[in-house]
Amino acid sequence: MDVATNLERINQNIRQACENSGRNPAEITVIGVTKYVTIERAKEAINAGITNLGENRLEGLLAKYEYIQDDASWHFIGTLQSRKVKDVIDKVDVIHSLDRMSLAKELNKRSSRPVDCFVQVNVSGEESKHGIGADDAVSFIKELKQYPNIQVVGLMTMAPHIDDEAYLRNIFRKLASLREAVKAEQLQHAPCNYLSMGMTNDYKIAIEEGATHIRIGSALVGPQ
């Protein structure tokens, strides 16, 4: 399928999920995840109207950034090793995977401006998943105050790849309520207005539960 057709279907689903939950589709940002595809396919996404691209590895980001750069806002969505921060910091607009203090320290040091970050939370508690434990998220975010170049714009989670809708819904609800807990702290460095949750498998549910940023790979750019 061409990306434009895929995007039209995704937009329909977004409208439907918003209708189901009394939300405005304008609140939803679609991040096109291009990690599995070629530069050409990523460009096709841009031509279809995608303005936000996500990559989960430094190498993938650099390869596409060289050709696409200013045509998109760039989101780093994967685990970020501290030693690679210096190579991505000037290229990415948003980091979705702030999951430890040592990374915050490095981002703070290497950036010349405040960086928009999502704090990644491991809501499901799966050992294979990165992220701060849900119980530790608020205190972690409070501690980030010491780093003036870290701006916590929201929370991010990855749900397990399963089809149990009730289970997924519960994960997204937990992240949404955690956002409320952070907002209640009224921290200047953590307005925390956004929720980055929902991928190909589960974005409709995520939107119904409050997602503002959905990260879509397969449904948008694959299969070619």
Ligand X SMILES: *Cc1c(COP(=O)(O)O)cnc(C)c1O
Residues binding ligand X (CB under 6 A): 33, 35, 56, 77-78, 158, 199-201, 215-219
Q: How far is the CB of 106 from ligand X (least distance, A)?
A: 20
Neighbours of 54 (CB within 10 A): 27
Neighbour-count burial for 191-207, b at 16+ CB within 10 Å, e otherwise: ebebbbbbbbbbbbbbb
Q: How far is the CB of 149 from ligand X (least distance, A)?
A: 23
DSSP single-letter state for residue 127: T
Q: How far apart are CA 2 and CA 129, in angstroms?
A: 32
Q: Which is nearer to ligand X, 149 or 218 (CB)?
A: 218
Q: Which is nearer to ligand X, 82 or 200 (CB)?
A: 200
Q: Which is nearer to ligand X, 189 or 211 (CB)?
A: 211
Q: How far is the CB of 185 from ligand X (least distance, A)?
A: 26
Q: How far is the CB of 30 from ligand X (least distance, A)?
A: 11
Nearest to 154 by CA among 180, 192, 190: 192
Cis upstream peptide for 223 (omega within 30°) = yes
Q: How far is the CB of 27 from ligand X (least distance, A)?
A: 19
Q: How far apart are CA 184 and CA 172, in angstroms?
A: 19
Q: What do you get for the CA distance between the two ends of the chain, in Å?
A: 6
- Nearest residue by C-beta to ligand X? 217
Q: Which is nearer to ligand X, 38 or 146 (CB)?
A: 38
Q: Which is nearer to ligand X, 170 or 200 (CB)?
A: 200
